Amino acid sequence: MPHITPNLWFNQNALEAAEFYCSIFPNSKITTVTRHAVESPSPGKIGDVLTVSWELDGQDFTGINGGPMFTFSEAVSLAINVKDQEELDYYWYKLIEGGGEESECGWLKDKFGFSWQVVPADWEQMLNDPDPERAKRAAEAMYGMKKLDIQALKDAADGK
């Protein structure tokens, strides 16, 4: 199978975004910065950043400084499946730092307007519990949250 790399369209801040993401996720680095070598129809002048490639813990990404004509929407997001509340809180607060905003059910937008889901690794199991009442209680609890509280979800599932 060919290697798939998500390509994110930024106005003119792809390098800033890559540096921000690499500062949050372990084992991450910027791998390539490509600059305009000639005048082009893309925004920017010779020497300005055109694209930046980075790795977040082994996953490749590319960002392009394509200009303001396309923006991010909630239709595309990245999910971070975390092991515990400490890890959930870390990613949640780091990603909203500097102007991001909370959404619902574990979703947020970072300061670049890109959407993330910060969820417990076993959240789908809670919502697909063989006992429909447990699943219903967990789902109802989740729908009332912005940042997820793992213990509160488990307590809700248990009817506490």
Q: Which two tokens stand for residue 3?
A: 């290697």
Which one of 9, 35, 70 terminates a domain? 70
Instruction: Determine contact, residues 82/140, Cβ cutoff 8 Å.
Output: no
- 156 and 94 co-located in one domain: yes
CATH number, residue 64? 3.10.180.10
- The strand ranges marked E within the chain are 7-10, 28-35, 49-56, 59-65, 77-82, 101-102, 107-109, 115-120
Domain enclosing residue 6, as ranges:
1-70
Provide the CA 119 distance to its chain's centre, in angstroms.
11
Q: How confident is the prediction along the chain (160 residues), in pLDDT tens digits per residue?
A: 889 999 999 999 999 999 999 999 999 999 999 999 998 777 888 999 999 999 999 999 999 999 999 999 999 999 999 999 999 999 999 999 999 999 999 999 999 999 999 999 988 998 899 999 999 999 999 999 999 999 999 999 999 8
Instruction: Confirm whether pTM is higher than 0.85.
Output: yes
CA–CA dist 135, 41 (Å, integer): 52
Instruction: Determine contact, residues 69/13, Cβ cutoff 8 Å.
Output: no
- 130 and 57 co-located in one domain: no
- 150 and 77 co-located in one domain: yes
- 21 and 39 co-located in one domain: yes
- 148 and 122 co-located in one domain: yes
